[in-house]
Amino acid sequence: MTDEVNPRCTSQKCSECGYIEASNRDLEKFICLSCGWMAHADINAAKNIKELAMLNIASIVLGDSKELEPIGSKRPKNRLEKSARTLCKRVEPGNLSNKDIKAAMS
């Protein structure tokens, strides 16, 4: 699977803290002026590109992107899932609810 991302500022952005500054990069060296993180400039840029690609994939999976939505799709966009469980206060296993305690006391 391939995903296109905009590589703008990926060589100037710190992959640790997100600070963007043109002077962060000095040829092959990357030294963040904000947090002091050091790395090879190409490795740092590759990490930033990977992060952008992961965000794009997440937006497609979570439905925030309209890229993969077929034209004329009949699937509702904001369908609310209905649960078979009743809406009541959930109790951790092993702990009795107030209802169970009252039933045991009577």
Higher pLDDT, 10 or 86: 10
Determine if residue 7 is left, alpha or beta; phi over 0 gives left, psi from -120 to 50 gives alpha, anything else beta.
Answer: alpha
Task: List pLDDT tens digits, range 29-55.
Answer: 999 999 999 999 999 999 999 999 888
Percentage of residues in the chain having pLDDT higher than 90: 32
Kindly report which listed range (60-69, 76-85, 92-101) carries the lowest average pLDDT score: 76-85
List pLDDT tens digits, range 4-25: 788 888 999 999 999 999 999 9
Q: Is the pLDDT of residue 88 over 80?
A: no
